[in-house]
Structure 1
Amino acid sequence: MLKITLLLAVTLAVAYAHQYAPGTVVTTVTSTTTTTSVSAGDSDDSGLLSASDRAIIRKTWEQARKDGDVAPQILFRFVKAHPEYQKLFRSFASVPQDELLGNGNFLAQAYTILAGLNVVIQSLGSRELLANQLNALGGAHFSRGATPVMFDEFGAIAMDVLAEELGSAFNAEAKAAWTTAVRGLNAGIVKTLKAPEDLVDPQTRLSGHIIKDVQRSWENVRGNRNTIVAGIFQKLFAGTPRLQKAFSKFAKVAAADLSANADFNKQVALVADRLDVIISAMDDKLQLLGNINYMRYSHEPRGISRQTFEDFAELLIESLASSGVAADDLSSWKGALAVFVNGVTPKK
């Protein structure tokens, strides 16, 4: 069943999270754990909804929801205005419209709106929560053929019902606040109305599609990972000789002798295995963030520049290309490596 009525429960999420669409949530880390910044706070006026707007919306919704007829009226007017959409709700697709307000399945769907919106309104300060809800909404409705215009139509009807219910309480300020929220709908839904595997996780900033491409192509070359990493190190040292000096055990070894040096090969194996661990854990959010966290804090004391990591990533792409990795997969690799580099050495 196309639970398009869940739109109302995330309309504010769309508006507030639009500027912070999936992939833009800031993640901070400590030396032992990964901590995600999730709260914007009611004093934060950034985004499409200001703290004042959020307060107005909470207050007016608290007034409106006291009337248990609000949610059923919104859903009823939606399917009455667009009869073709009723067919998308299998549980009451064939119920005559004049019987809908007394139908249990219809009312159950209507009150899903009420429960969902209550949660959203209480969570307006959490960017991550709203972004995750938006991802869930878009991914769930993509396969059902939902379009942005459906959400627009629903939002307009919801506004009309609220205006009638609230009367004079739906003053100019209230109307402006709710209008701002609803206007964020199209931009937000377009970003997330995708196949679930194409949605970017708000924390990792990776999509399932990227993860699948990288892990699959890595499996084909991972047996040769030490050779790949050794070649990258040698090119890095040749281009920037001072980088080799950061490795005290083989700092003075001639370039021609590196491949036969035990300490160099141990370092190569360490980096190759770490890369293997990170890639293997890409589909496990906690492990992935933990690995990136470890890389960041194990390398910061060494003063390794962001440029060095960017160079390593670029040389890895070149090596993968020469190993026969397809162009589409390389595009996913570039996206994944950008996430890794940003996590290990955030832009200042």
Structure 2
Amino acid sequence: MQLFNLVLVFGVVAYASACSQTPGTTTTTVTTTVTTVTADDEGEAGLLSANDRRIIRKTWDQAKKDGDVPPQILFRFIKAHPEYQKMFKSFADVPQAELLSNGNFLAQAYTILAGLNVVIQSLSSQELVANQINALGGAHQPRGATPIMFEQFGEVAEEVLAEELGSAFNAEARQAWKNGMRALVTGITRNLKKAEDLADPQTKLTPHQIRDVQTSWENIRADRNSMVSAIFIKLFKETPRTQKHFVKFASVAIDALPENAEYNKQVALVADRLDTIISAMNDKLQLLGNINYMRYTHQPPRAIARERFEDFARLLLDVLSSKGVSADDMDSWRGVLTIFVDGVSPRQ
């Protein structure tokens, strides 16, 4: 198995400064920060075949050595579709004839170069490239970008690469790039979402879900003990053996549980833990820490089955619905609880 180094460009600082030596000229400097990752180049994992990935990387590595390629791609894109120039505020009103000497235009061109580097060098990792495509979709949605724009950009990029590489950009290379751009556009189209709808790669939660859950919870959290108690009572009635996990009130009759001190302590503990997790959803480290703690404390000897957590989540949704939580917020709750259950008790 051959290994290759993926050079991922994580940051780009592109800026233009006027040169005092020659009035009216602009120098554009691009600084990139890189890290190296090892990945398998021979497998078929990822969006494309191993051969397509190899060809795309090889041709791109050749083309990007020429510093004129990124500006030419962006220039021809804008020349072919002048209406898109208005989307770039920093050079929206610059005459086309002056774009190739405009510092802001060049900075944008080399920023695009860095973005292409990230995607191309991430092709072998489904997770990495999915995150990059997700980020691209989220970043361009507020600007009014549409899938057709990415398709048009890909067509222009293909033309410039063909001219730059000549015979090296043969039919096989052209087809590999077509496949790559098709996969990229498909992914971006699927993820061309508002920033609030983009899931965090670690927690899998979106800002939209977090907002909905926290807002609706705030309205009912004062009644959390009674809600959890109602869930436990129903859970114990549905699956009596579940009560046996709680040794301090394992033998107490269900009807007598509300008057049992140990039971009420457990209810308060669970209600407060739920409140803590929901309150911490904006703090990724704290949220993951709470979920990991729950996972650790429910391993053997307690070994509570995943089904019981799923039952608790189902019954909590019933309670939330009875409390008047809106349909939209309920959708967010379903997504969040699924993620919580997966974190506390992963599928085997």
Q: Scaled by the length of structure 1, what TM-score is found?
A: 0.83
The Cα shift of 1:112 comes to 1.5
CA contact (8 A) 2:133 2:188 kept: yes
CA contact (8 A) 2:248 2:262 kept: yes
Q: Which has the larger radius of gyration?
A: 2
* One-letter identity of the residue aligned with 1:180: N
CA contact (8 A) 1:131 1:202 kept: no
Task: Show the counterpart of 1:73.
Answer: 72
The Cα shift of 1:289 comes to 2.0
Task: Show the counterpart of 2:3.
Answer: none
The Cα shift of 1:97 comes to 2.0
Distance in 2 of aligned mates of 1:40 and 1:320: 45
Q: Which range moved further: 188-197 or 76-85?
A: 188-197
Q: What RMSD over aligned residues (CA atoms) do the two structures have, in Å?
A: 2.2
Task: Show the counterpart of 2:21.
Answer: none
Distance in 2 of aligned mates of 1:167 and 1:49: 24
Task: Show the counterpart of 2:339.
Answer: 339
The Cα shift of 1:315 comes to 0.7
Task: Show the counterpart of 1:205.
Answer: 204
Task: Show the counterpart of 1:137.
Answer: 136
Distance in 1 of aligned mates of 2:113 and 2:326: 48
Distance in 2 of aligned mates of 1:321 and 1:90: 46
Distance in 1 of aligned mates of 2:228 and 2:167: 69
Q: Which range moved further: 131-140 or 107-116?
A: 131-140
Task: Show the counterpart of 2:108.
Answer: 109
Change (3 A) 1:265 1:198: same
User: What are the superposed Cα offsets for residues 289-334 of structure 1, whole Å, 9 maximum, x if unpaired?
Assistant: 2222222222132232222111111111111122222222112111
CA contact (8 A) 2:46 2:126 kept: no
Task: Show the counterpart of 1:313.
Answer: 313
The Cα shift of 1:278 comes to 1.0
Larger helix percent: 1
Task: Show the counterpart of 1:6.
Answer: none
Task: Show the counterpart of 1:151.
Answer: 150
Q: Which range moved further: 144-153 or 301-310?
A: 301-310
Distance in 2 of aligned mates of 1:205 and 1:150: 28
CA contact (8 A) 1:132 1:201 kept: no
CA contact (8 A) 1:39 1:126 kept: no
The residue correspondences of 1:1-348 to structure 2 (distance < 5 A) are 41-301=40-300, 302-348=302-348
Task: Show the counterpart of 1:34.
Answer: none
Distance in 1 of aligned mates of 2:290 and 2:167: 55
CA contact (8 A) 1:56 1:177 kept: yes
Distance in 1 of aligned mates of 2:125 and 2:192: 21
- Structure 1: state its 5+ residue gaps: 1-8, 11-37
SS, match of residue 291 in structure 2: helix
Q: Which range moved further: 54-63 or 71-80?
A: 54-63
SS, match of residue 143 in structure 1: helix
The Cα shift of 1:127 comes to 4.0
Q: Scaled by the length of structure 2, what TM-score is found?
A: 0.83
CA contact (8 A) 2:46 2:124 kept: no
Distance in 1 of aligned mates of 2:126 and 2:294: 26
CA contact (8 A) 1:155 1:182 kept: yes
* Greater RCO, 1 or 2 (C-alpha within 8 Å, sep 6+): 1
Distance in 2 of aligned mates of 1:317 and 1:251: 25
The Cα shift of 1:39 comes to 8.0
CA contact (8 A) 1:39 1:125 kept: no
Q: Which range moved further: 302-311 or 111-120?
A: 111-120
Distance in 2 of aligned mates of 1:337 and 1:300: 19
- Structure 2: state its 5+ residue gaps: 1-8, 11-36
Change (3 A) 1:104 1:209: same
Change (3 A) 1:41 1:284: farther
CA contact (8 A) 1:229 1:271 kept: yes
